[in-house]
Structure 1
């Protein structure tokens, strides 16, 4: 049975690879050359902050200089939204279009559902016309300390800019992945408290599990708001067994799969450095003082590192 599944998996991956290559060839060799002058060409298409679409396009000469313009997002027969677009003439005489679209009714934007939304430009003058927005080149990831965001920092919903096989630009939206997103870390000399938001799923009676090698400590989560929870880190139970102990934190619930505590809804490439938290000496009840350092791994997972104080273990 295992070998059959392995072979089916290989065939599926090979077919997907073949389909992607074939689709790219059709787009680049046939559709885009034929349609290059029939629509508005996007010179810039980006999704900023995980929820704001920014577009800049040049219109074909046949469009003229319209009086008004709208950007239309359409999905199927019923899903349709329109937002104003700015059309103006450049110094060289070309007609340009700028548009900004905020996605998600939770943040005051368009209430789009999950799925693929086609982009169209509606031009209004003495007569109206509809132009496709052609994405000749896909967005290229940029370098530096930040990276493009593909999820809303408020809702966790995922959005990206793509294109059809004919080259039309579209927005692809999906629901938030199940996650336990950290919103606050409060470290003092008396203890450590962590607040989280649960995204992409619902939990009923969750608890937090602190893991270090073979040790496990379960702690209750207290609800502090809609989909938000708080846990006090049980430092008094984290007796040091070595010079340094690393504790990972997992949210558990009987109805969902375990989720690591973490911080991922951001555009930072190095969360370990940017979201650094200073270590503090904490005196847990019943234990010797120890150094507690909450931090994030390179993958954005939350980790509590406990270590001995330099003075501990010294003989007078």
Structure 2
């Protein structure tokens, strides 16, 4: 269907050469206007869904070869001062004005934009709310924005490593929580800990080092689960970022502690390739 519609609509649509969401919440657009548009005094991107509409200014300029081109950056999400789009599919169009006359053009997405690969990549989720915005395409080739509400998740805010203490700040996204609490789990072991509120929406976990000493000579790996009212436990992780290898980029130092008299333990916070926070505890030979 797309192969059928695209050639027939090229003369009446603005053709997108670039359409991507790189930071998780801003739609970057670059398009070429059809030859039937010769003069533009003002241009706006229109986002519409049912009876909702948002208007964002766009820039139209003339290239050296005489073509009319358009650039726009559409910030999404009320939490960051952008268009307060709700979950669903939003039409994406360009309105141009010349004097008293105006015209609305579909934005034709011939090919999906593939961002360059490297050590970083596009953020899949908005960094503040974890909502997801992506550029889609209808069967007729029209570009559209698809908004998906954040799924419940527990996100690491910061990790504080001191001489003999580790604290973790976290927040819960996509769910209303009452008084969350944490559970650290290893093979056959579990430790429950309260969470202290440090600011609105942020809780602090004091890692119980004395209760994480390995029972044998082998290392133990502890994962953190966050429990909320009436919901399945959420695995604490760091996923709101744009790096490809979080286990390397967000590497943290390890510390040696004496959690109980006469015993030494090395503990290292780290992120798994999936972004989950994990504490590796290794017993050390020697005594105080």
- Give the TM-score of the pair, scaled to structure 1: 0.87
* C-alpha distance in 2 between matches for 1:73 and 1:216: 49
Q: In structure 1, what is the equivalent of residue 52 of structure 2?
A: 79
Q: In structure 1, what is the equivalent of residue 83 of structure 2?
A: 110
Q: Determine which of 236, 240, 252 is the counterpart of 1:261.
A: 236
Partner SS state of residue 233, structure 2: strand
Give yes or no for the alignment of 1:242 onto 2:186: no
Give yes or no for the alignment of 1:99 onto 2:69: no
Q: Give a deviation string over 1:230-266, Cα, whole Å, max 9, x none.
A: 1111110112123311101111134111111100000
Contact residue 22 and residue 121 of structure 2 kept, 8 A: no
* C-alpha distance in 1 between matches for 2:227 and 2:160: 22
Q: Give a deviation string over 1:2-46, Cα, whole Å, max 9, x none.
A: xxxxxxxxxxxxxxxxxxxxxxxx112x11122122200000111
Q: In structure 1, what is the equivalent of residue 270 of structure 2?
A: 295
Give yes or no for the alignment of 1:42 onto 2:23: no
Q: In structure 2, what is the equivalent of residue 57 of structure 1?
A: 31
Unmatched segments (≥5 aa) in structure 1: 1-25
Q: Give a deviation string over 1:142-182, Cα, whole Å, max 9, x none.
A: 32111211211111111001111111001111111111000
Q: Give a deviation string over 1:65-117, Cα, whole Å, max 9, x none.
A: 211111111111x2100011100110001000000111111112111111111
Higher normalized helix content (fraction of residues): 1
Q: Determine which of 88, 95, 105 is the counterpart of 2:61.
A: 88
Partner SS state of residue 272, structure 1: helix
Contact residue 213 and residue 281 of structure 2 kept, 8 A: no
Per-residue deviation at 1:141?
4.5
* C-alpha distance in 2 between matches for 1:82 and 1:196: 35
Give yes or no for the alignment of 1:167 onto 2:141: yes
Q: In structure 2, what is the equivalent of residue 198 of structure 1?
A: 172
Contact residue 65 and residue 89 of structure 1 kept, 8 A: no
Contact residue 280 and residue 292 of structure 1 kept, 8 A: yes
Q: Give a deviation string over 1:188-219, Cα, whole Å, max 9, x none.
A: 12211111010000221221111110101111
Q: Determine which of 121, 127, 142 is the counterpart of 2:94.
A: 121
Per-residue deviation at 1:225?
2.3
Q: In structure 2, what is the equivalent of residue 4 of structure 1?
A: none
Contact residue 71 and residue 84 of structure 1 kept, 8 A: yes
Assess, with a 3 A threshold, how the Cα gap between structure 1 residues 65 and 254 changes in structure 2: closer, same or farther.
Answer: same
User: Between Structure 1 and Structure 2, how many residues are aligned?
Assistant: 285
Q: Over aligned residues, Cα RMSD in angstroms?
A: 1.3
Q: In structure 2, what is the equivalent of residue 307 of structure 1?
A: 282
Partner SS state of residue 36, structure 1: helix
Contact residue 213 and residue 259 of structure 2 kept, 8 A: no
